[in-house]
């Protein structure tokens, strides 16, 4: 009897947690061959990207090497980008890997699988808005976050010379007042204060102007209104200029054009409005939604193939209330656990269970200034509103829970200690 192979494509929060658990439970005992595939060599928790974008978090300290992590946790890592699936022969094709000069490092490869799991996450949706792809920064990956950070530092340097200033204040336009846009807006004010304190720029936060633009009637439209109101007030106290019921119709080199024809000139433009699954998912021969999410049963199995699973932001999973599982980090965390149990059941010939999403609440961190959120009270779904230090503590615990899932309790505890020491040893932001 051959050892079954489970291939997990996508090493985001859910994918890495699943591969880690499969490796610990099945890979180390050689009951299954577990392979994780990702286009990047390292993992970073996606909710941290807005901190990487402003330099308040050094990605080099928090990123996890898939190759090193795999050795300790019983799975194998293959770097590559999925390009095709042959369901008849149960193989998948990975695109060639090129170096920075375009030379082929590894040619296209094929991997066999017995079970395939797709957890490739999501990307920002520009809705076809003219000019956005060319003129706006996106914060979907560590590379994009680093690109924004470098541009931000250069813009602050440029504004240190009064003769090179484009506007009276350094102006940033953020389109999309979901969690990413809101948290990035607050982080920018924290970053400007730190840059000024380190002598990097003559500008303080009073010379920074941040515009947060949202097409919906309020910011954080997917979260409870009480959280939206509290965050709105805190952002305005920081100095963020909030534009709701405002739709952007065009982006250009000077900023944005809104639906009423009014221009908004910016030095830095960021697009964080809406998400969709990666487009290539609609080219794999699997049923997908218009936003390229793979259609799955309640068991997380693809409608087209019971040996292909999908979860997280890239999957459209129905729920008992006829809604779909929301694209949230806590949903991916819950689905990773559920997918593990269903994979075990499928291998053992047992019936698979439907996934039911349970909302544990929502938390928004506004840099070091404030945190706001709600926690769900058990099955009653009554929410407990929290803010201040307690909310900051719960927000930080979300990342620690992810670390425990991929590292275990002991290593996470050591990481907490090291992180505490780094706050005294290293600068509070990445300045280079």
Looking at the structure, tell me whether residues 287 and 335 fall in a common domain: yes
pLDDT value at residue 124: 92
Write down the number of H helices and E strands in the chain: 11, 26
Judged against a pLDDT cut of 50, whether residue 378 lies above it is answered with no
Judged against a pLDDT cut of 90, whether residue 338 lies above it is answered with yes
Looking at the structure, tell me whether residues 332 and 231 fall in a common domain: no
Q: Which residue has the tokens 């730190």?
A: 194
276 vs 394, more confident: 276
Looking at the structure, tell me whether residues 171 and 219 fall in a common domain: yes
pLDDT value at residue 314: 97
**What domain range is 397 assigned to?**
361-425
What value does the mean pLDDT of the chain take?
Answer: 91
Judged against a pLDDT cut of 50, whether residue 379 lies above it is answered with no
Query: Which element (helix H / strand E) includes 276?
Result: strand 275-276
Per-residue pLDDT tens over the stretch 171-212: 999 999 999 999 999 999 988 888 888 888 777 767 899 999
Looking at the structure, tell me whether residues 213 and 245 fall in a common domain: yes
pTM for this predicted structure:
0.91
Looking at the structure, tell me whether residues 164 and 248 fall in a common domain: yes
| Residue whose C-alpha is closest to residue 329's, from 387, 275, 270 | 275
Looking at the structure, tell me whether residues 167 and 256 fall in a common domain: yes
Looking at the structure, tell me whether residues 32 and 110 fall in a common domain: yes
pLDDT value at residue 380: 44
Cβ-based neighbours of 118, under 8 Å, separated by 6 or more: 9, 10, 82, 281, 294, 308, 309, 310, 311, 314, 315
Looking at the structure, tell me whether residues 380 and 336 fall in a common domain: no
Looking at the structure, tell me whether residues 269 and 298 fall in a common domain: no
Looking at the structure, tell me whether residues 24 and 105 fall in a common domain: yes
Looking at the structure, tell me whether residues 54 and 73 fall in a common domain: yes
> Following DSSP, what letter does each residue of 185-207 receive, concatenated?
HHHHHHHHHHHHHTTS-S--GGG
Count the Cβ atoms, other than its own, within 10 Å of residue 68. Answer: 12
The answer as to whether 430 is a domain residue is no
pLDDT value at residue 377: 52
- With bands split at pLDDT 50, 70 and 90, how would you rate the model's confidence at 382? low
For residues 415 and 407, the answer to whether their CB atoms sit within 8 Å is: yes
Judged against a pLDDT cut of 80, whether residue 427 lies above it is answered with no
Per-residue pLDDT tens over the stretch 3-28: 999 999 999 999 999 999 999 999 99
Cβ-based neighbours of 259, under 8 Å, separated by 6 or more: 246, 247, 248, 249
pLDDT value at residue 60: 76
**From CA 410, how far away is CA 392, in angstroms rounded?**
23
The DSSP call for residue 88 is T
Question: Which CATH number do you get for residue 299?
Answer: 3.50.50.60
Looking at the structure, tell me whether residues 262 and 167 fall in a common domain: yes
| Residue whose C-alpha is closest to residue 357's, from 326, 382, 379 | 326
Q: Report the domain count for the chain.
A: 3
The answer as to whether 284 is a domain residue is yes
Burial grade of 321 (CB within 10 A; 0-12, 13-18, 19 or more): exposed
Judged against a pLDDT cut of 70, whether residue 1 lies above it is answered with no
pLDDT value at residue 384: 76
Per-residue pLDDT tens over the stretch 258-286: 999 889 999 999 999 989 999 999 999 99
pLDDT value at residue 76: 97
Which of 1-10, 15-24, 61-70, 415-424 comes out lowest in average pLDDT?
415-424
Tell me the sheet residues that pair with 109. Answer: 94
């Amino acid at each position: 009897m051959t050892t079954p192979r489970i291939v997990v494509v996508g090493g985001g929060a859910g994918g890495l947690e699943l591969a880690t658990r499969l490796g610990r439970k099945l890979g180390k005992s050689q009951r299954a061959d577990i392979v994780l595939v990702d286009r990047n060599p390292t993992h970073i928790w996606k909710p941290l990207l807005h901190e990487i974008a402003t330099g308040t978090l050094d990605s080099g300290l928090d990123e996890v090497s898939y190759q090193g992590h795999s050795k300790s946790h019983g799975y194998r890592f293959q770097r590559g980008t999925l390009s095709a699936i042959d369901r008849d022969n149960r193989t998948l094709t990975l695109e060639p890997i090129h170096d920075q000069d375009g030379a082929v490092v590894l040619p296209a490869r094929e991997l066999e699988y017995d079970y395939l799991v797709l957890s490739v996450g999501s990307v920002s949706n520009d809705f076809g808005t003219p000019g956005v792809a060319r003129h706006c920064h996106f914060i979907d990956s560590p590379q994009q976050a680093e690109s924004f950070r470098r541009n931000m530092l250069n813009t602050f340097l440029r504004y240190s010379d009064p003769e090179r200033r484009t506007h009276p204040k350094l102006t940033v336009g953020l389109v999309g007042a979901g969690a990413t846009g809101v948290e990035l807006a607050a982080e920018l004010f924290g970053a400007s204060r730190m840059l000024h304190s380190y002598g990097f720029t003559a500008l303080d936060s009073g010379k920074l102007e941040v515009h947060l633009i949202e097409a919906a009637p309020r910011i954080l439209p997917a979260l409870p209104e009480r959280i939206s109101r509290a965050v709105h007030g805190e952002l305005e106290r920081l100095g963020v200029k909030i534009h709701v019921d405002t739709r952007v119709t065009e982006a250009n080199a000077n900023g944005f054009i809104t639906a009423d024809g009014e221009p908004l000139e910016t030095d830095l433009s960021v697009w964080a409005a809406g998400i969709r699954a990666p487009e290539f998912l609609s080219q794999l021969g699997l049923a997908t939604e218009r936003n390229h999410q793979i259609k799955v049963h309640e068991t997380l199995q693809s409608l087209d193939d019971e040996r292909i699973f999908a979860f997280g932001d890239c999957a459209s999973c129905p729920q008992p209330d006829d809604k779909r599982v929301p694209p949230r980090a806590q949903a991916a965390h819950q689905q990773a656990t559920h997918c593990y149990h269903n994979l075990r059941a499928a291998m053992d010939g047992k019936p698979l269970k439907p996934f039911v999403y349970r909302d544990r609440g929502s938390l928004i961190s506004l840099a070091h200034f404030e945190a706001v959120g709600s926690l769900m009270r058990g099955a009653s779904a009554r929410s407990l509103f929290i803010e201040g230090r307690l909310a900051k503590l719960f927000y930080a615990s979300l990342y620690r829970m992810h670390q425990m899932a991929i590292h275990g309790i002991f290593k996470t505890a050591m990481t907490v200690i090291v992180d505490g020491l780094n706050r005294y040893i290293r600068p509070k932001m990445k300045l280079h």
